[in-house]
Structure 1
Amino acid sequence: MEEAQILDVARDGIMTMILISAPVLLAGLTVGLVISLFQTLTQIQEMTLVFVPKIIVVFLAVLILLPFMIRQLTELAVRLMDMAVSLP
């Protein structure tokens, strides 16, 4: 395996990781920001208020995006297998 192929595998892995994790992280970030804004406006200083809605939204985002995540991982695995088979 040459350096270029190793870099391609690493780049594909990192891009797949970003594609899989970004939507879930953005959903959690958005909910956290909305709840924090609500807490600031109402002056509620309850620290645990953020966690329950964030956990629920992240769980729902994972459920909704699971087919997309599996498809991305499958495509990465197929590319890696094709690359492994084509090695001299």
Structure 2
Amino acid sequence: LAEAAEAGLSIRNARRDFANIKTKMTALRRPDGTVTSSRRTMEKVIHDFYSDLFDSHVHLPHAIFRRMDTSSPLFSLPRSDTPSRR
């Protein structure tokens, strides 16, 4: 931007040109520690990472479900003979 200003060029155009320059990822470290520069492999590593990150399934051991007693509620609301006047 400073070069554009000194040369009397449009700062707006220089800022847009600077924003259009994208930094390309040339290598990526795999989970096993090796480095790859293959685009296809990098895409797969990134896809696997974000798929695991945003996986909506919560995996619980079956032992937790066996210990839960479904006949009693997990919480109970206080009961009152008179309605609340709030």
TM-score of the aligned structures, taking structure 1 as reference length: 0.30
Q: Which structure shows the higher helix fraction?
A: 1
Structure with the larger strand share: 2
Q: TM-score, with normalisation over the residues of structure 2? A: 0.30
RCO comparison, higher one (Cα < 8 Å, 6+): 1
Structure index of larger Rg: 2
